[in-house]
C-alpha cells in the first residue's frame, strides 16, 4: 500500500494462502505471527477482517489497534455454507472464469469504473484455482467472532462501502456496537472493495486513524 509507506508506515502484505495452501484461518494467523516481529496493526479487508479477529484471539498483546473494512463478525449460516460449497464446485468444474462471473456482480458499487473491475479481476486471477478453493473453504469454516468483539479493548476503525452488498453497513455497525472502542466510517459510492473503488476516501480515514493511535 504505497500511500501508507509514503506516510512512513512499514507495510507487510502476507501471501495467503501461499505456495502450499491450507484452509484454516488459525493456521494463516499462526504463520503471520511467526513472520511479523513485535507489535503490529492488522488492516483486514473483507476476508482479512476474519483473519484480524483470529490474530487477536492468538496474540492480543501484540495488537495496539485494528482496522476492519468491508467485513462482518458472524460466521456463515447453513445457507451461506451451502453457497460456499457451490462456489467450490464452480471453481473446480468451471475454473476461474465461472467463479468470477458469479462474484463480480456482488462486489462493486453501481457506477464503478471499468478499470477498477479489471484491476480486481487481475488480483483474483493471480491466484491458482486451488488457492481460491482453500480461501473459500477458510471462509466457509471460519469461527463466529461475535463473542470476540467485547474482548477487543483497543481502538478499532470499522470502514464499509455504503453500497457494499456482501458485508453491508448494518454488518459494520453491528461490529462497532460490540466493540469497546469502535469507530464507524462509511464510504459513499463504494461497494465491497472500498480501497480499490474509493482509494482517496479510504486512505484519508486510514491515515487519520493511524495518526491518532500512533501519536
pLDDT at 17: 81
pLDDT for residue 207 is more than 90 = yes
pLDDT at 1: 61
Query: pLDDT band at 121, cuts 50/70/90?
Result: very high
pLDDT for residue 3 is more than 80 = no
pLDDT for residue 6 is more than 90 = no
User: 9-13, 55-59, 160-164, 208-212: lowest mean pLDDT where?
Assistant: 9-13
DSSP codes, 52-96: HHHHHHH-GGG-S-EEEES--SSPP-HHHHHHHHHHHHHHHHHHH
pLDDT at 99: 96
Instruction: Count, in order, helices (H) and strands (E) of the chain.
Output: 10, 4
pLDDT at 18: 78
The Cβ of residue 27 has, within 10 Å, a number of other Cβ atoms equal to 14
User: 21-35, 109-123, 128-142: lowest mean pLDDT where?
Assistant: 21-35
All three cell numbers of 40: 503490529
Query: What is the average pLDDT across 131-152?
Result: 97
pLDDT at 131: 94
DSSP SS3 for 211: helix
User: 6-10, 38-42, 170-174, 193-197: lowest mean pLDDT where?
Assistant: 6-10
* The CATH number of the domain covering residues in 2-12+39-74+143-214: 3.40.50.1820
What are the residue boundaries of the structural domains of the chain, listed by start?
2-12+39-74+143-214, 78-137
d(CA 201, CA 196): 10
Percent of the chain with pLDDT over 90: 87
Q: Are 142 and 25 in contact (CB under 8 A)?
A: yes
pTM value surpassing 0.85: yes
Average pLDDT value over all residues in the chain: 95
Instruction: Give burial (CB, 10 Å; 0-12/13-18/19+) of 206.
Output: buried
The model's pLDDT over 75-114, given as tens digits with 9 standing for 90+, comes to 999 999 999 999 999 999 999 999 999 999 999 999 999 9
Query: What is the average pLDDT across 1-24?
Result: 81
d(CA 30, CA 9): 23
The model's pLDDT over 35-81, given as tens digits with 9 standing for 90+, comes to 898 999 999 999 999 999 999 999 999 999 999 999 999 999 999 99
Amino acid at each position: 500500500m504505497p500511500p501508507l509507506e509514503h506516510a512512513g508506515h512499514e507495510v507487510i502484505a502476507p501471501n495467503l494462502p501461499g505456495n502450499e495452501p491450507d484452509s484454516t484461518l488459525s493456521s494463516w494467523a499462526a504463520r503471520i505471527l511467526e513472520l511479523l516481529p513485535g507489535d503490529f496493526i492488522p488492516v483486514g479487508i473483507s476476508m482479512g477482517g476474519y483473519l484480524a479477529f483470529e490474530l487477536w484471539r492468538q496474540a492480543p498483546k501484540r495488537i495496539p489497534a485494528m482496522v476492519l473494512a468491508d467485513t462482518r463478525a458472524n460466521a456463515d449460516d447453513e445457507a451461506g455454507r451451502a453457497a460456499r460449497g457451490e462456489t467450490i464446485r464452480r471453481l473446480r468444474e468451471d475454473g476461474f472464469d465461472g467463479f468470477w462471473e458469479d462474484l463480480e456482480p456482488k462486489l462493486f458499487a453501481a457506477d464503478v469504473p471499468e478499470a477498477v473491475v479489471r484491476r480486481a479481476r487481475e488480483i483474483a486471477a493471480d491466484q491458482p484455482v486451488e488457492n481460491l478453493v482453500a480461501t473459500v473453504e477458510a471462509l466457509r469454516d471460519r469461527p463466529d467472532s461475535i463473542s470476540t468483539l467485547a474482548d477487543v479493548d483497543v481502538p478499532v476503525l470499522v470502514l464499509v462501502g455504503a453500497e457494499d452488498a456482501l458485508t453491508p453497513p448494518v454488518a459494520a455497525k453491528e461490529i462497532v456496537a460490540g466493540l469497546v472502542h469502535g469507530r464507524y466510517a462509511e464510504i459513499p459510492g463504494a461497494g465491497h472493495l472500498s480501497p480499490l473503488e474509493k482509494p482517496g476516501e479510504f486512505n484519508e480515514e486510514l491515515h487519520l486513524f493511524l495518526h491518532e493511535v500512533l501519536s
